[in-house]
Amino acid sequence: MFRRSVLCLSGLCLGWLFVSGVVMGQDVTHLKLQPDRLRHAREAERQAIAASDSLQLAEAWYLYGKTYVFAGDYQTSQRYFLKSMRILESRGDSDDLARIYVRLSENEGRLGRENDALRYANLSMQMAQRIQSDKELVRAYGAIGRAWENLWKKQPSAANRMQFKNSLVYYRKQEALCYKLKDSLGIAEATLQLGTLFTQARDPQAIPYLEKALSLFVLLHENRLRTNVMLHLAAAYLEFGKQQMAFQTLLKAEQLYNANRVDEYDTRLDLEKEFVRYYQTTGQWKEAFDHVKKQSELEKIGLLSDRDGKIAQLNVAYESEKKEALIRARNRELALSAQTLHTQQRFTLATSTLFIVTAGMSVVFFRLYRKNQRISRRNETLVREQNHRVKNNLQVISSLLNLQSRRLSDEAARTAVAESLLRVQSMAIVHRRLYDGGQLAEVNLSEFIQELVESVLKTYGHYTVQTSFDIDDISLSADKAVPLGLILNELTTNACKYAFPHSAGPRFSVVCYRKHAHLTFIVKDNGPGLAGSELNDSMPGLAAGSHSPENGSFGMQLIQAQARQLRGTHKFRSDGGVLFTLEFTI
The CATH number of the domain where 521 resides is what?
3.30.565.10
Q: Are residues 510 and 458 part of one domain? A: yes
Quick check: 545 and 538 in contact, CB under 8 A? Answer: no
Q: Are residues 472 and 366 part of one domain? A: no
Q: Is residue 391 part of a domain?
A: yes
What's the number of CA atoms in the CB half-sphere (13 Å) around residue 60? 19
Q: How many domains would you assign to the chain?
A: 5
Q: Is residue 13 part of a domain?
A: no
Q: Is residue 308 part of a domain?
A: no
d(CA 239, CA 246): 9
Which band of pLDDT confidence, cut at 50, 70 and 90, is reported for residue 486? very high
Q: Are residues 341 and 356 part of one domain? A: no
Look at phi and psi of residue 521 and say left if phi exceeds 0, alpha if psi is from -120 to 50, else beta.
beta
For 129-170, the pLDDT digits (tens) are 999 999 999 999 999 999 998 888 887 666 678 888 999 999
Give me the sign of the Cα torsion angle 404, 407, 412, 413.
Answer: negative
**CB crowding 377-408: b at 16 or more within 10 Å, else e:** eeeeeeeeeebeebbeebeebbeebeeebeee
Q: Return the minimum-mean-pLDDT range out of 260-269, 313-322, 488-497, 550-559.
A: 313-322
d(CA 301, CA 18): 11
d(CA 468, CA 466): 7
Q: What would the mean pLDDT of 65-79 be, rounded to a whole number?
A: 87
Tell whether the model's pLDDT for residue 283 goes beyond 90.
Answer: no
Which band of pLDDT confidence, cut at 50, 70 and 90, is reported for residue 532? low
Q: Are residues 546 and 472 part of one domain? A: yes
Q: Is residue 326 part of a domain?
A: yes
Contacts of 220 (CB under 8 A, 6+ apart): 184, 185, 188
Q: Is residue 331 part of a domain?
A: yes
Tell whether the model's pLDDT for residue 341 goes beyond 90.
Answer: no
Q: Are residues 474 and 570 part of one domain? A: yes
Of the candidates 74, 114, 181, the residue with the CA atom closest to the CA atom of residue 122 = 114
Residue 367, pLDDT score: 79
Q: Return the minimum-mean-pLDDT range out of 10-14, 244-248, 445-449.
A: 10-14
Which band of pLDDT confidence, cut at 50, 70 and 90, is reported for residue 404? low
Domain boundary among 182, 206, 234: 182
Residue 429, pLDDT score: 83
Q: Are residues 378 and 327 part of one domain? A: no
Residue 133, pLDDT score: 93
Which residues partner with 570 through β-bridges? 582
Q: Are residues 468 and 380 part of one domain? A: no
Residue 27, pLDDT score: 41
Q: Where are the alpha helices (DSSP H) in 437-553?
A: 445-460, 478-494
Q: What CATH number should be reported for the domain holding residue 177?
A: 1.25.40.10
Residue 541, pLDDT score: 39
Quick check: 548 and 518 in contact, CB under 8 A? Answer: no
Q: In which domain, by residue range, is 154 found?
A: 97-182
Q: Are residues 563 and 469 part of one domain? A: yes
Q: Which residue has the higher pLDDT, 304 or 393?
A: 393
What mean pLDDT value characterizes the chain? 79
Q: Is residue 499 part of a domain?
A: yes
Q: Helix/strand/coil (H, E, C) string of 111-124? A: CCCHHHHHHHHHHH
Residue 260, pLDDT score: 74
For 361-374, the pLDDT digits (tens) are 878 878 787 877 77
Residue 369, pLDDT score: 78
Tell whether the model's pLDDT for residue 324 goes beyond 80.
Answer: no
| C-alpha 220 chain-centroid distance | 28
Tell whether the model's pLDDT for residue 312 goes beyond 70.
Answer: no
Quick check: 528 and 544 in contact, CB under 8 A? Answer: yes
Tell whether the model's pLDDT for residue 113 goes beyond 50.
Answer: yes
Which residues partner with 302 through β-bridges? none
Quick check: 13 and 295 in contact, CB under 8 A? Answer: no
Q: Is residue 84 part of a domain?
A: yes
* Whole-structure pTM value: 0.45
Look at phi and psi of residue 276 and say left if phi exceeds 0, alpha if psi is from -120 to 50, else beta.
alpha
d(CA 355, CA 349): 8
d(CA 418, CA 110): 54
Q: What would the mean pLDDT of 314-340 be, rounded to a whole number?
A: 61
For 240-256, the pLDDT digits (tens) are 888 888 888 888 878 87
Q: Are residues 574 and 461 part of one domain? A: yes
Q: Is residue 238 part of a domain?
A: no
Of the candidates 560, 572, 496, the residue with the CA atom closest to the CA atom of residue 529 = 572
Amino acid occupying residue 214: L
Residue 363, pLDDT score: 83
Domain boundary among 162, 182, 202: 182
Residue 313, pLDDT score: 47
Quick check: 578 and 511 in contact, CB under 8 A? Answer: no
For 184-232, the pLDDT digits (tens) are 888 988 888 898 888 888 888 889 988 888 888 888 887 777 888 888 8
Q: Are residues 381 and 341 part of one domain? A: no
Q: Return the minimum-mean-pLDDT range out of 231-245, 309-323, 481-495, 539-553.
A: 539-553
- 282, with CB counted inside 10 A (0-12, 13-18, 19+), is middle
Q: Is 565 helix (H, G, I), strand (E, B) or coil?
A: helix
Q: Are residues 575 and 452 part of one domain? A: yes
Which band of pLDDT confidence, cut at 50, 70 and 90, is reported for residue 305? very low
CB atoms closer than 10 angstroms to residue 85: 23
Q: Are residues 570 and 473 part of one domain? A: yes
Domain boundary among 405, 423, 440: 440
Which band of pLDDT confidence, cut at 50, 70 and 90, is reported for residue 97? very high
